[in-house]
């Protein structure tokens, strides 16, 4: 038929339950991935078989090295994978069949994905993630303990506000900052 337009795909916002479960999965998996270099370095330096996640227990300069490597491994999980491996998906989002896109429903550009995943999810909302804790512990080492507790409270506050925003408007703080949204990938 002449003049019939091709219909645009319909993008459905991610259901709250699946998005929340994907967030929990990603928190666990991203933390497990970021602890690999920290635990290995601790084991190599001390000979202990336990996994230590407290950077302040390392002798200098190994706490800094462990923290840096933990953040790099976290960045691979939270940024590299959704940028280049599974476009717009971490493993948690992939398992829950969700995708991160821009407000225009197109893939999120590298810079905006970095704002969302690295600055937002990994650090500012990272109160319960090892990546967020590594950042706090590194700042604690830098300030000789003065900023650690205050920063933990701040991160917890940002996390609570983000959860409230996601519940209220369907967009967490990291989505607002990056101009992104999470859609059902079905």
Residue-range domain boundaries for the chain: 16-184
166 pLDDT exceeds 80? Answer: no
List of residues 6+ apart from 63 with CB closer than 8 A: 55, 56, 57, 137, 138, 141
Question: pLDDT tens digits for 98-137?
Answer: 999 999 999 999 999 999 999 888 877 777 788 888 988 8
Q: How far apart are CA 52 and CA 38, in angstroms?
A: 7
Question: pLDDT tens digits for 30-51?
Answer: 999 999 999 999 999 999 999 8
Residue 86: the pLDDT is 96
* Displacement of CA 12 from its chain's centroid (Å): 23
């Amino acid at each position: 038929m002449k003049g019939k337009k091709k219909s645009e795909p319909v993008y459905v916002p991610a259901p709250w339950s699946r998005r929340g479960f994907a967030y929990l999965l990603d928190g666990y998996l991203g933390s497990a991935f970021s602890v690999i270099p920290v635990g290995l370095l601790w084991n190599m330096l001390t000979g202990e078989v336990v996994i230590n996640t407290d950077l302040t227990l390392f002798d200098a300069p190994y706490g800094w090295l462990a923290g840096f490597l933990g953040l790099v491994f976290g960045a691979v999980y939270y940024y590299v994978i959704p940028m280049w491996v599974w476009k717009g998906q971490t493993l948690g989002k992939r398992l829950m069949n969700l995708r991160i896109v821009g407000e225009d429903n197109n893939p999120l550009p590298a810079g905006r994905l970095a704002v969302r995943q690295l600055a937002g999810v990994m650090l500012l909302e990272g109160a319960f993630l090892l990546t967020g804790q590594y950042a706090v512990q590194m700042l604690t080492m830098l300030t000789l303990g003065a900023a650690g507790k205050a920063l933990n409270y701040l991160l917890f506050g940002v996390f609570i506000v983000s959860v409230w925003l996601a519940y209220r408007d369907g967009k967490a703080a990291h989505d607002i900052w990056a101009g992104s949204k999470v859609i059902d990938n079905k």
